[in-house]
Structure 1
Amino acid sequence: MSRPVPAQSTGDTWRFDAIGTAWEIVADAPLGEKTRQRVAAVIDDFDAAWSRFRADSLVGSLASAGGAVPAPPDAAAMLDAFVELSDATGGAVNPLIGASLERLGYDAGYSLTAGVPVAAPADWVRALTWHDGILALDRPATIDVGALGKGRLVDLVADVVALASPGGFVVDAGGDMAVRGAPQRIGLEHPFDARRAIGVWEVTDAALCASAVNRRAWGDGLHHVLDARTGVPVHTVAATWAVAPTAMRADAIATALFFDGGPRLAHDWGVEWVRMTTDGRVDWSPGCRADLFRREASVER
């Protein structure tokens, strides 16, 4: 995925676990108890709204019965971006992919027992609505915002940390990170060997997000990156990295790059990217400023 090498700050370091991943916040200024409480509250609120692993979350209630709930503050920003992702990838990215993940064993109980894959509803934009402060589903379905949700949460946490450490900080949520202030050299972890990197990317006042098929993987060829049109894990791309002004957009492009149309959306959004295919080939966006140790191709589709 991605790792700071090293994080270049000596102020305060805070490590904790949340939403199923390890977090590290490195700030130039001390992070007081009030700041930590605000960060915890932001994460708790996001999880209570969007976690498909919680029966008591808003999306959990929609999964069991459909209907309508008050829309979380993030609904428009995230679901509007999903429309662009879905359009760009020909429907391969879809927020109703949750049932497909559950069928393959990535469910609330982490059964990791694969059943028969199922495609996500192709008419998701009609089934799922987010207007006038209401989030609604016209049928029971499982919303999964994993294509960009962690990036959105990194942005929200970064907004809180910025108030306490205006001089600079790094928010790192399992390799998806926001950087403010001093440049950070971030290693791009090789998807087939975590001891190696395929390059280093210097990031300043931006976000870097990554996705890889070796993370959240189980069984024979099973992992969390599915093609919503089939419900089957992708098998051509092994890892992706994207740098954008916001972590949500970087996270979204890191997902889109697993599919045809991802590079074009990245171009439209002004996002730089790198990706590695399962046969070891590396390509990147024109003008990409990552320092790659092995440059074999440069492709924009």
Structure 2
Amino acid sequence: MSSSAGTYKIDTRDSQLLAWYSELYSATNGKVSPLIGQTISDAGYDQVYSLAQKQAIHQTPAWGDVIELTDTALIVRHPTLIDVGAAGKGYAVDAICDLLNANDIHAYTIDAGGDIRTKGPLQRIGLEHPFDATKVIGAVNLTSRSICGSATNRRTWGDWHHIIDPATSLPTTNIIATWVIADTAMIADGLATALFFVEPDKLTHLADFLYVIIHSNGTVVYSKHKTIELFI
């Protein structure tokens, strides 16, 4: 896809991931986009992790200009670097859960670097302090659901971090951390990224979810729910 246009066959599971991206893209007015790949690569987070910014940073193209999704294929009109990092790890967690469920495993906790999904007894999970990994700012009580977090202190290099605004081709600055609780990790992962760009009420039509958001000025906004306990 990054080297040539064409029609690429995709299986049902991959189609679900890209369909979720399509929903996020629409809900955030293009802020959450799998087409951010070349922009991130130019910023230095490339195939070899050079962490060296190129002189020119490519702007992120519009979805309709570059790709079209069908039930069985992704049509790529121009060579483009796809990046599914905003929901891809959650997608992988769900795939593992499906495998466990298919083998009659009835209790488990999957933790993929902070993207967590549980089944079975209640699990109490801490919310890592974005500036001190030895501390937590709160905790959630999770039963057969998923929690995913995103923060600007992860995957950082130079003046960059991994959450880049396609409109400016620059890192976001208003929010430093988000967490989302939802039924699946793919949904929670994608929404955690989307909250860097839009208010929670712009996303409520997509899924049933709870959230915690830490703004760069220290303000904390969160769902008032018994599942969530904050210590700050």
- 1:167, 1:84 → 2: CA distance? 31
Once the two structures are TM-superposed, the CA of residue 126 in structure 1 deviates from its matched residue by 4.2
Once the two structures are TM-superposed, the CA of residue 119 in structure 1 deviates from its matched residue by 2.2
For 2:59, the equivalent position in structure 1 comes to 119
| Structure 2 residue 44 is the aligned partner of structure 1 residue 94 | no
Residues 288, 227 of structure 1: CA spacing in aligned structure 2 closer, same or farther, 3 A cutoff?
farther
List per-residue Cα deviations over 1:165-214 (Å, max 9, x = no partner).
53300011011011000111110001111111110001000011111111
SS in 2 for 1:171: strand
| Structure 2 residue 194 is the aligned partner of structure 1 residue 269 | no
TM-score by length of 2: 0.93
SS in 2 for 1:189: strand
**Alignment match of 1:182 (pick from 121, 124, 128):** 121
For 1:280, the equivalent position in structure 2 comes to 218
Once the two structures are TM-superposed, the CA of residue 233 in structure 1 deviates from its matched residue by 0.9
- Residue identity matched to 2:119: R
| Structure 2 residue 148 is the aligned partner of structure 1 residue 229 | no
Once the two structures are TM-superposed, the CA of residue 90 in structure 1 deviates from its matched residue by 1.8
Once the two structures are TM-superposed, the CA of residue 285 in structure 1 deviates from its matched residue by 2.5
Q: Is the 8 A contact 1:266 1:272 kept in 2?
A: no
- 2:58, 2:222 → 1: CA distance? 32
Q: Is the 8 A contact 1:103 1:118 kept in 2?
A: yes
SS in 2 for 1:120: coil
Q: Is the 8 A contact 1:120 1:230 kept in 2?
A: no
For 2:94, the equivalent position in structure 1 comes to 155
- 1:250, 1:256 → 2: CA distance? 10
- 2:151, 2:188 → 1: CA distance? 14
CA RMSD of aligned residues (A): 1.6
| Structure 2 residue 129 is the aligned partner of structure 1 residue 210 | no
- Report the identity percentage: 40
Q: Is the 8 A contact 2:15 2:72 kept in 1?
A: no
Consecutive unaligned residues of structure 2, counting only runs of 5 or more, are none
Q: Is the 8 A contact 1:75 1:130 kept in 2?
A: no
- Residue identity matched to 1:100: T
- 1:154, 1:177 → 2: CA distance? 8
List per-residue Cα deviations over 1:225-267 (Å, max 9, x = no partner).
1112222110111011001011110001101110124442046
- 2:12, 2:197 → 1: CA distance? 29
Moved more, 262-271 or 246-255: 262-271
How many pairs were matched up? 231
Once the two structures are TM-superposed, the CA of residue 268 in structure 1 deviates from its matched residue by 4.5
For 1:48, the equivalent position in structure 2 comes to none
Residues 278, 117 of structure 1: CA spacing in aligned structure 2 closer, same or farther, 3 A cutoff?
farther
- Residue identity matched to 1:117: I
Consecutive unaligned residues of structure 1, counting only runs of 5 or more, are 1-61, 295-301
SS in 2 for 1:269: coil
- 1:189, 1:72 → 2: CA distance? 35
- 2:123, 2:18 → 1: CA distance? 30
TM-score by length of 1: 0.73
For 2:20, the equivalent position in structure 1 comes to 81
For 1:299, the equivalent position in structure 2 comes to none
SS in 1 for 2:64: helix
- Residue identity matched to 1:109: V
